[in-house]
């Protein structure tokens, strides 16, 4: 076995970000997790000083130089790094000196994003709440559908005994309303069949939704595209994913039109993410799909609960569209998140490109 190759493969697949620095503090190596953290290619920054990658509020170059000179390891908790032209990152990191037989000392930096840990905890909590809600809805649906069946059957028997057509109208109302309630309960349960997976191109799905939205709005809502052509085809149910994106896009479209937003637009944005965690499961490659609109935003009082059934910001809304969308994405081992403020609402869908089961 080639142990160098084996060790590199292990480091390349770690979720922690790893950076190796030379004695001169130039970058020798970055694993894919570090590339994703700083959004830069390792090849692009190879042999450049670490300061090209990030700076700290309190200059850490001296500490790194001392670690090389004295072979002294150190660590920092909740340090704030400032990558070039990017948002600050809060993370923990450990610096470990490694002295080679020739006497030269290299530094190994292991960085763990605090933001990422907070996100994982939030996602796990969200998934647990959604699973509990689904179990509650299933139990409630069973208790509701049984008496509805009895009411419908009794109304049908009563209708046969009535000779007055005007009275039959009342039994018809009972039958129609029980059917409506039964359908509503079925919608709350979400998709009743497993995804029929085939090789799927996410951009073909977006173009289909784009055509539907343009037809419904007659071009009044501008659709923007920001696609990552490197995203490969993956195993999914195209019709279900179309329903997910269409549900979210229609909500955005209705919010834009009802609030008379000037220059209304919806942006479809895709990106490929490497070594990305959804809940507690780490995936080698994930598709990130953002649906962004410039509408009035979602009220803060309902933002945390919008994926639960019967929660809607619109008076005439059923509150089922996003619940169904989340159920479908969960069946695809993915997750939906939402961030909203006046002038910008972004739904982010994460879909693993390789199945774990």
Counts of helices then strands in the chain (DSSP H, E): 10, 13
The DSSP element (H or E) to which 234 belongs, if any, is strand 234-236
CA gap 35, 42 in Å, rounded: 6
pLDDT score recorded for residue 346: 93
**CA torsion through residues 241, 242, 244, 249, sign:** positive
Architecture of domain 3-114: 2-Layer Sandwich (3.30)
Domain 198-352 has CATH 3.30.390.10: no
pLDDT score recorded for residue 348: 93
List the structure tokens of 248.
């979210």
How far from chain centre, in Å, is Cα 321? Answer: 17
Do the beta carbons of residue 273 and residue 285 sit within 8 Å?
yes
C-alpha closest to that of 327 among 221, 208, 194, 180: 194
0.85 exceeded by the pTM?
no
Q: Are strands 89-99 and 74-83 parallel, antiparallel or unpaired?
A: antiparallel
Do the beta carbons of residue 234 and residue 353 sit within 8 Å?
yes
Do the beta carbons of residue 220 and residue 313 sit within 8 Å?
no
Interhelix angle 114-161/321-331, nearest 10 degrees:
120
pLDDT score recorded for residue 266: 94
Starting at the edge strand that comes first in sequence, how are the strands of the sheet with 105-113 ordered?
27-30, 17-21, 105-113, 89-99, 74-83, 54-56
Angle, CA 118 vertex, CA 114 and CA 121 arms, to 5°? 140
pLDDT tens-place values along the chain, 357 residues long? 455 556 778 888 887 899 999 999 999 999 998 998 888 899 999 999 998 998 887 767 788 999 999 998 999 888 888 887 777 888 889 999 999 888 899 999 999 877 666 666 666 666 666 666 666 666 666 677 778 788 888 888 888 888 777 778 888 888 888 888 777 776 666 666 678 899 999 999 999 999 989 888 888 899 999 999 999 999 999 988 998 999 899 989 988 988 888 899 999 999 998 878 787 677 889 999 999 999 998 888 887 777 766 555 554 555 567 878 888 888 888 888 888 999 999 999 999 987 655
Residue with tokens 């993410």: 273
pLDDT score recorded for residue 91: 86
pLDDT score recorded for residue 1: 44
- Residue 279 gets the label, from left (phi > 0), alpha (psi -120 to 50) or beta, of left
CA gap 242, 196 in Å, rounded: 13
- Please report, for the chain, the start and end positions of each structural domain, with discontinuous segments joined by +: 3-114, 118-189, 198-352
CA gap 332, 199 in Å, rounded: 13
CA gap 4, 9 in Å, rounded: 9
Q: Which residues contact 15 (CB under 8 A, 6 or more apart)?
A: 33, 275, 277, 282
pLDDT score recorded for residue 157: 85
């Amino acid at each position: 076995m080639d142990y160098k190759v084996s060790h590199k493969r292990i480091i390349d697949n770690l979720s922690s970000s790893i950076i190796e620095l030379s004695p001169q503090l130039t970058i020798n190596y970055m694993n894919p997790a570090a590339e994703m953290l700083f959004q830069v290619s390792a090849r692009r920054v190879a042999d450049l000083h670490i300061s090209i990658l990030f700076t700290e509020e309190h200059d850490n170059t001296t500490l790194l130089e001392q670690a090389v000179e004295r072979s002294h390891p150190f660590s920092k908790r909740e340090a704030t790094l400032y990558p070039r032209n990017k948002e600050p990152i809060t993370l923990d990191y450990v610096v470990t000196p490694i002295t080679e037989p020739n006497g030269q000392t290299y530094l190994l930096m292991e960085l763990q994003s605090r933001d990422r840990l907070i996100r994982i905890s939030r996602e796990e909590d969200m998934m647990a709440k959604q699973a509990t809600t689904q179990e509650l809805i299933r139990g409630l649906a069973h208790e509701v559908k049984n008496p509805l069946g009895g009411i419908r059957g009794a109304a049908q028997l009563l209708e046969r005994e009535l000779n007055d057509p005007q009275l039959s109208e009342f039994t018809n109302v009972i039958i129609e309303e029980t059917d409506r309630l039964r359908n509503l309960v079925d919608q709350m349960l979400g998709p009743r069949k497993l995804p029929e997976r085939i090789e799927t191109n996410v951009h073909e799905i977006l173009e289909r939704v784009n055509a539907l939205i343009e037809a419904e709005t007659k071009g009044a809502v501008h659709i923007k595209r920001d696609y990552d052509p490197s995203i490969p085809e993956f195993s999914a149910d195209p019709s279900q994913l179309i329903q997910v994106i269409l549900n979210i896009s229609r909500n955005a479209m209705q919010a834009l039109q009802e609030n008379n937003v000037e220059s209304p637009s919806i942006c479809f944005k895709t990106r490929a993410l490497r070594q990305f965690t959804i809940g507690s499961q780490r995936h080698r490659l994930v598709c990130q799909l953002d649906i962004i609109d410039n509408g009035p935003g979602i009220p803060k009082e309902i933002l945390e609960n919008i994926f639960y059934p019967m929660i809607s910001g619109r008076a005439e809304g059923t509150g089922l569209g996003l619940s169904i969308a989340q159920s479908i994405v969960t069946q695809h081992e993915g997750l939906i998140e939402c961030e909203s403020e006046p002038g910008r609402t972004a739904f982010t869908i994460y879909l693993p490109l390789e199945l774990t089961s």
